[in-house]
Chains A and B, each alone.
Chain A
């Protein structure tokens, strides 16, 4: 039962262009969403999050969009840089901000940014 799905296993983008990573979820109880970045042999690193009361959150080159009706969120990276090449995980939690923080992760998308 995959409650958080990242249907694209990989994405290849040219440096300077936009990277768009997608994530779908099925559990309507999820109300807090996060994106993590992971390099090989390292733990995931928090990138950006969004509460279900918002539809957009921006932090520098990273913007997360949330479409609650479609149960879909996306991460936009503009402009993409070679150092952004990593695995990106979408994650979700229930009762965001008040829960004990248990996260449900997607399978991940491997982003490769070519110089």
Chain B
């Protein structure tokens, strides 16, 4: 049973481009969470999704960021018009229930 798969592992984007981060949850997991870790900081909650539904997006920046978890396929975190401050490690986690989830290895986004 593969763990939570995130790709790409590393992503470099120029300012103004779009970044798409993908997360495939563990088999049987229907809850997905996205966290962001800025340099020298802890992980910060961004969004919680279940299949086809956004449950809590209280940690998402109001603009340029969006997330989805379609019925088929991975969860996608999308950042439009990236800026240098978006450079961070983005972690996805999945869970079969409400607490106790497994993290992926993360996507390291660098905006140049």
Contact = CB atoms under 8 A, between A and B. Distances in A.
Asked if A and B are interacting partners, one says yes
Interface of A: 4, 6, 32, 36, 41-46, 49, 89, 91, 93, 96-108
Interface stretch (B13-21, B65-73, B79-87, B93-101): B93-101
Interface in B3-40: 4, 6, 31, 33, 35, 40
17 contacts: A6-B42, A32-B99, A41-B105, A43-B6, A43-B103, A44-B91, A45-B103, A96-B99, A97-B98, A100-B31, A100-B56, A101-B99, A103-B45, A104-B45, A105-B44, A107-B40, A107-B42
B99 A44 contact: no
B43 interface: yes
Given A93-B99, A100-B55, A102-B48, A43 B42 contact: no
Nearest to A44: B103
Question: What size tier do the contact residues of chain B reach?
Answer: 20 to 34
A46 B45 contact: no
A6 to B, nearest CB: 8
Question: What secondary structure prevails in chain A residues at the interface with B?
Answer: loop
B48 A100 contact: yes
A102 B45 contact: yes
Contacts of B104: 43
A41 B45 CA distance: 19
A101 B98 CA distance: 5
B56 to A, nearest CB: 6
